[in-house]
Amino acid sequence: MQTSLPALHIVLVEPEIPPNTGSIARLCGATNTVLDLIHPLGFAVDNKHLKRAGLDYWPQVQIKHWENLDAFLQVQDEDRLYFLTTKSSRPYTDAHFKPGDMIIFGKETKGLPENILHLYSDRCLTIPMCNPNIRSLNLAMAAGIVLYEVLRQINK
């Protein structure tokens, strides 16, 4: 009898741009990844741009809503958390991901709170930029890059 692996999670902390969240929801649906949304959101969940980016895949996405970041963190296993930030030098490819891990991204304009980055400094990862004039990637693109590395490692 085969048991299923714990679900992976993409966690968006206070996302601000509806099309990013919609695209990430579609990505989560395609990969059977849970999408955790940490409130407050920068848009209404019935936003037309959010729905358009997710197309008709919304029923395929498992979404969990959290009141705030503290409520989310209080019930998580710290060993399963990975925080993506431009303020780390550790590339995401150095992490050893396992089923059930949670990949956490901050809001588009500010990233993750400084106190969280400090508290979880050993769990922070970055996507290296080859061009020093580019600070970061689009949130949906970053989520896709990291999620598929996680899947690659797990499915070896």
> What share of residues in the chain are helix, strand, coil (percent, to 5)?
40, 20, 40
User: Which residues of the chain carry a pLDDT beneath 50?
Assistant: 1-3, 54
Contact 103, 84 (CB under 8 A): yes
What DSSP character marks residue 147?
Answer: H
Q: Closest by alpha carbon to 135, among 91, 93, 92, 85?
A: 85
Scan for tokens 């769990």, then name that residue: 123
| Predicted local confidence at residue 4, as pLDDT | 64
What is the spatial distance between Cα 114 and Cα 120, in angstroms, rounded to a whole number? 10
| Predicted local confidence at residue 3, as pLDDT | 45
| Complete domains list, the chain, with CATH | 9-154 (3.40.1280.10)
Backbone Cα Rg of the chain? 15
Contact 67, 40 (CB under 8 A): no
